[in-house]
Each structure stands twice: as C-alpha cells, then as structure tokens.
Structure 1
C-alpha cells in the first residue's frame, strides 16, 4: 500500500516523513495535524480550508543524485538514455499526474503525455507546480 504523501498548505510543503505529522482521512475529507505541547494537536492543513492540496506519492524515485520520491504535482525532466528510444532524444518536461490508474508526465503545451516509469529513460525532479509553476511555462515544444 502506498502511504507516501505530502500536503501543500498554500505557503509551504509538508511531507509524510515530517516530525510529529499525522494525516486523518474520513471519506473525501482530510486533515493534517502536528503534535503540540498541549493536549490537542495543532491543525496544519485541511481539505476544507480552500488552500491545501493532498498529493500522493508515486512508486517511482528520481534517477539522478540522491534517492527522492516523485509525487503528484512534481515537475519532472525525463530524458531518454537508449539510442533510438521510444520517444526520441529530446528531453521532456511535464507535471506528474495520475491518469486512468497510471502515473504519467503531462505536458499540456505539447499536448503530450508519457508514462512516468520507463526502462530506457531517466527522471529528475526539477520542482513542483505549487512552488515552481514557472517551470511548466518553459516547457515549450522543441523543434
């Protein structure tokens, strides 16, 4: 079962491995709490606050540098490593989304979608759509 998650609260990102963070889900509503010194935990974010987003972790990790899980909403730079690869030599940049049960990299400007998992390509997280939305603006179609 995939239990990796992170929460964007409108100002900062909170990761599931954060100290003293607890996520409670009931139906379609969720709340992220942080343990506090008092008896009641402090609410960090909620699906009802209008600003926060719960983002699931994928089962994939970036293939550059340190081991880093890839999450929904990440902006990923994918590059083919095999000569004559399936998608050609041009790097591909897009947002990670779940589409029909599969994790994909979506580039809306190119109107293209590729699988996140590839045996012949490397993935590098270069940011996320919440803190680095300008990265997708630069994902133009290369000709």
Structure 2
C-alpha cells in the first residue's frame, strides 16, 4: 500500500519523509504533528490546509506525482502541425486518479496513467497558483 503523502500548512509543503513529522488520521480528520513536542503543524480543521496522497506514479522525469500537482503535456497537433502544451491538475474522482484540464472551458479529463511518458510535474496548486491563471 502506498502511504507517501504531503501536507500544505497554508504556507509551506511538508512531506511524509521529512524528519520529525508524523501524520495521525482518525476517520476523516487528520493532524500533522511535530514529533517530540507534539506541536500541531497542520490539521484538517484548519482553513487553508490540505492533505495530498502520492498517486504511486511518476512523470517523464521520474518525479513522484501527488494529488493537486500541476502537470504539463507537450505534443504536436496533427492538424495544425504545431506544438501544443496542455496543463492538468491531478485529482481523484470515484477512486481513480485523473488529469483534469486547467482550462475552465475544457471538459477534458483523462486517466492519469494514460501517456505518463509525456507529462511532467511543473508545480502544484498551493505553491504555484500562477500556473492556473489565464487558463481559458
């Protein structure tokens, strides 16, 4: 079972392998603790925090892919004969990890595992919200 995770505390990202941290989950609630002194780093009841799971898949540069990552896919449009770059946000729906197109006008979403060799993680929605701006 894949247990890698990361937590956004509203200001910075914390990863499952960061020294001195532990995640406690009870039902739908979670708390990220700083070990030793039992100080809360972030919790599900705090506004602006988020727990994200690793999908268990890697991008074309062998980087881990987490929920709420922003990925890019570059390909040549066969009709226009020009390079196209599409951005997606990784989300889980109905138990399946999906790539949801950043464009508000697009209804396009795909299974994450489709064409993994073509996508790369370029950021995430918390640390890089500017990557979502201007999407049509």
Would you say same fold, with TM above 0.5? yes
Work out whether 1:73 is the aligned partner of 2:68. yes
Matches within 5 A, 1:77-88: 77-80=72-75
Deviation at 1:121, TM superposition (A): 4.3
Work out whether 1:54 is the aligned partner of 2:36. no
Tell me the distance in 1 between the aligned counterparts of 2:56 and 2:91: 13
Q: 1:46 to 1:120 in 2, by over 3 A?
A: closer
Q: 1:106 aligns with which of 83, 92, 100?
A: 100
Alpha-carbon RMSD across the aligned residues, in angstroms, is 2.1
- Give the corresponding residue for 2:20: 20
Q: Deviations over 1:4-43 (max 9, x none)?
A: 110001000001011121000001111001123xxx3221
Q: Deviations over 1:35-66 (max 9, x none)?
A: 23xxx3221111112221111110211112xx
Deviation at 1:120, TM superposition (A): 6.9
Tell me the TM-score normalised to structure 2 length.
Answer: 0.84
Q: 1:99 to 1:11 in 2, by over 3 A?
A: same
Deviation at 1:80, TM superposition (A): 4.8
The runs of 5 or more residues in structure 1 that have no matched partner are: none
The answer (yes or no) to whether the contact 1:57–1:72 under 8 Å persists in 2 is yes
SS at structure 2 position matched to 1:134: helix
SS at structure 2 position matched to 1:90: strand
